[in-house]
Amino acid sequence: MKRIALMTSGGDAPGMNACVRAIVKTALHYDIIPVGIYDGFQGMIEKRGFEMTYQDVDNIIYRGGTILGTARSAEFRTLEGRKKAIEYLQELKIDGLIVVGGDGTFSGATELGHEMNIPIIGIPGTIDNDIFGTDHTIGFDTALNTVVEAIDKIRDTASSHHRVFFIEVMGRDAGFIALYAALASGAESVLIPEELTNIESLVQEIRTHNTGRRSSIVIVAEGDDGGGAKEILDKVKPFLPEFDLRHSVLGHIQRGGNPSALDRIIATRMGSYAVELLMKGESNVMVGVYGENLNTCSIDQGIKEHASPELSKLELLKKLRTQ
């Protein structure tokens, strides 16, 4: 390994900068030249890369977002687009590529790796925590803490006004943020994509939970089959005319902010390990964390199984329902 490229792609996640920092510092430690690619695959197509130094990653570990930028690229999905990307990597004499992102990023990197025959290492960076092969993805813990803090504040006004709040959080295909936030905030109900929503049952839950209480919080993942927070509120409203119902959509506030200590540590360990894997000749694998240990699985497996409901998640849901 003489020269490696690195990029962030897909949705931004707190901790990506910490990961970039670790990749660059580890590469330089081993006398490998790290080449940062701006704005993901689109930047690769447009030949926007630069050799990174220690100064480029100085004091970025605490910053949210990604200094390399990120963008979705329709052009990269075409054979002609990938050909431009491959030509640029060949022009830069790149020996290996590290990509930080979610399943869409991994899919694109896998295609690129097969067509160019270049070693690829994937690092899971997404607030949704929906990548197979790792306990935590970069950004999940920070987003979760942001959500819980917001719910706590909404609970204050909900209690003051005797209201039932439906709070919508991110999670188009997976309910990790919704479920863990519901547990951490003491929410009365949670709706996630992995389970079908029963409005009649939800109405009964709200009635039961409000016996002798001043408020209720219902967490709704944006990808729930029943709709978002506003849609769920509209569906239960006819059955609860005596209740003061409100909804709140947290939106992109969940993506921003300084990464938590856990995300910084996970990102740093994953980034450094990814460089070492390339040096060992590994390819087409994803770095994950299992307990306190780093592990790997094939990128194909991470993509293929990411949408499968996990037993641990359903077990958590059962615990929540019995609170």
Whole-number Å distance between alpha carbons of 42 and 151: 36
Residue 128: active-site member: yes
Rounded (5°) CA angle 37-110-17: 35
Q: How far apart are the first and last CA of the chain?
A: 53
- Cα torsion 133, 134, 139, 144: sign: positive
Whole-number Å distance between alpha carbons of 287 and 48: 26
Query: Do residues 191 and 226 lie in contact, with contact meaning Cβ atoms separated by under 8 Å?
Result: yes
Six token digits for residue 318 = 């059962």
Query: Do residues 143 and 255 lie in contact, with contact meaning Cβ atoms separated by under 8 Å?
Result: yes
Whole-number Å distance between alpha carbons of 50 and 114: 24
Whole-number Å distance between alpha carbons of 153 and 269: 33
Six token digits for residue 59 = 């004091």
Whole-number Å distance between alpha carbons of 63 and 57: 11
Whole-number Å distance between alpha carbons of 321 and 319: 5
Catalytic hit among 12, 128, 130, 141: 128
Enumerate the active-site residues: 128
